[in-house]
């Protein structure tokens, strides 16, 4: 069943007509192509969603595109476009076309590190088919409303890329399983890295430390390195 999403402004009148989930890859790509060249500000007005400013705007461009493209996955553990098994990821770019930051994939299942396998992991599922949407800015400080949507493209890992992701996943999860969560840094992994991921700095989870003791550490997420997403932009 394809759910429709209707959005309203401060009043009761809908600003954007109901957006149903795309029923094919072609339909999804057509919607994405229609957004290319438009500013986030104009798109946010169309959708009736505020972008916010500074740190309060973090994540808003992705949420805005989810609305406009008909993503229905929400915050649940499923793909952004469940029927198509497609994940949506934005890539913020600077004026020279270089990624401004790493790309979040999903939470690191640290509590299950000793039995986690790449082939059955949520990280692999999330990266099986990704719709990347570049968001261009003149510079890092460019207001979100002035940033421009670029040309979206679909990506799925090649055999070589999957092998690299697999190796990075094993290195990260292996370090955590051996009690090294606290000493794990973002330097581990050639294209996939683990970094702290929490709503605020006070969030903690219980894990086993290097000597078998219980420790409390920050939750972590998997991220694609900017150097890797930069390579995707040049080879798409």
- Token pair in block for residue 50: 């505020």
Measured CA distances, 177 to 32, 77, 112, 114, 156 (Å): 40, 23, 8, 5, 28
Which CATH architecture fits 4-235?
Answer: 3-Layer(aba) Sandwich (3.40)
Domain coordinates in residue numbering, the chain: 4-235
Q: What is the pLDDT of residues 41-69, one digit of tens each?
A: 999 998 888 886 665 567 789 999 999 99
**Does 108 have pLDDT greater than 50?**
yes
Q: Name the range with the highest mean pLDDT among 55-64, 73-82, 198-207.
A: 73-82
Q: pLDDT class for 11, splitting at 50, 70, 90?
A: very low
Q: Which residue has the higher pLDDT, 140 or 171?
A: 171
CB-based contacts of 143, cutoff 8 Å, min separation 6: 53
Q: What is the pLDDT of residue 211?
A: 56
Q: What is the pLDDT of residues 136-148, one digit of tens each?
A: 999 888 999 999 9
């Amino acid at each position: 069943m394809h759910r429709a999403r209707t959005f309203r402004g401060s009043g009761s009148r809908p600003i954007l007509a109901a957006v149903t989930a795309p029923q094919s890859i072609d339909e999804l790509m057509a919607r994405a192509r229609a957004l290319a060249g438009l500013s986030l500000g104009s798109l946010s007005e169309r959708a009736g969603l505020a972008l916010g400013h500074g740190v309060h705007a973090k994540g808003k461009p992705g949420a805005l595109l989810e609305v406009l493209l008909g993503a229905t996955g929400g915050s649940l553990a499923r793909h952004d476009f469940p029927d198509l098994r497609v994940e949506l990821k934005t890539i913020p770019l600077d004026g020279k076309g270089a990624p401004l930051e790493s790309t979040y994939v999903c939470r690191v299942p640290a509590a299950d590190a000793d039995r986690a396998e790449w082939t059955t992991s949520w990280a692999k599922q999330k990266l099986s088919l990704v719709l990347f949407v570049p968001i261009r800015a003149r510079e890092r400080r460019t207001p979100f409303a002035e940033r421009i949507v670029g040309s979206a493209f679909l990506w799925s890992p090649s055999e070589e890329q999957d092998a690299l992701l697999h190796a990075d996943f094993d290195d990260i999860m292996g370090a955590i399983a051996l009690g090294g969560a606290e000493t794990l840094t973002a330097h581990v992994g050639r294209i996939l890295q683990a970094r702290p991921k929490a709503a605020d700095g006070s969030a903690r989870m219980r894990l086993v430390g290097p000597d078998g003791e219980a420790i409390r550490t920050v939750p972590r997420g998997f991220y694609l390195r900017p150097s890797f997403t930069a390579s995707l932009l040049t080879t798409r």
